[in-house]
Structure 1
Amino acid sequence: MIIKPTSSLRTELGEITKICKEKAEPVYLTKNGEGELVIMSIAAYEHREAMLDLRTKLLEAEKQRLNGAPSYTSDEVREYIRSLHNDQV
């Protein structure tokens, strides 16, 4: 975890940007020793958002499964995909 005071934004913005991009992790900024802001690269942010979206979808699928929604084995799905391909040929 990288922690810096908010005052470092004025003097170390280039270094903070480089850390965010190269390490792909956020930099935590503090003010008077208390957490104030988090800075991260756009790539890291988009990756985080994609992971959260995937997690939401997986939780919803698990909820549906627990509520009795039909489920399929990988073999059943594979066969279904093959049948779709064969129908198009």
Structure 2
Amino acid sequence: MINIRPVSDLRNKFPEIEETVNQSNSPVFLTKNGHGAMVLMSIEHYSLLTDSIERELDYADKIAEENDTRYSHDEVFNRVRGRIHE
């Protein structure tokens, strides 16, 4: 279930929000003046979202160190577009 709360709850009910985030391991969406303001999540949940990206970026850095080939912005995006439209 999506948990949406006003941003004022962060100040007024922090222990309750902290418990919700850590026990359910699902994000809490905070609103300000009726509009989305931020999302709070546990470090474990954040890691699930970012670890694979970090690994891929580390791999790309390693390949870049081992290879002198560089591509321009246009070359990269043309290759990406070509793969998308295959």
Identify the TM-score tier after normalising by the shorter chain: 0.5 to 0.7
Residue 10 of structure 1: how far off its partner (Å): 1.1
The two structures have a TM-score, normalised by structure 2, of 0.58
Counterpart check, 1:9 vs 2:15: no
Highest CA radius of gyration, 1 or 2? 1
Deviations 1:1-42 (A, max 9, x none): 100000001111111111111111110000011000100011
**Root-mean-square deviation over aligned CA pairs:** 2.4
Q: 1:46 to 1:37 in 2, by over 3 A?
A: same
Match of 1:38 in 2: 39
SS in 1 for 2:13: helix
Q: 1:25 to 1:52 in 2, by over 3 A?
A: farther
Runs of 4+ in 1 over 3 A off after TM superposition: 51-57
Q: Identity of aligned pairs, percent?
A: 34
The two structures have a TM-score, normalised by structure 1, of 0.56
Residue 55 of structure 1: how far off its partner (Å): 9.0
SS in 2 for 1:30: strand
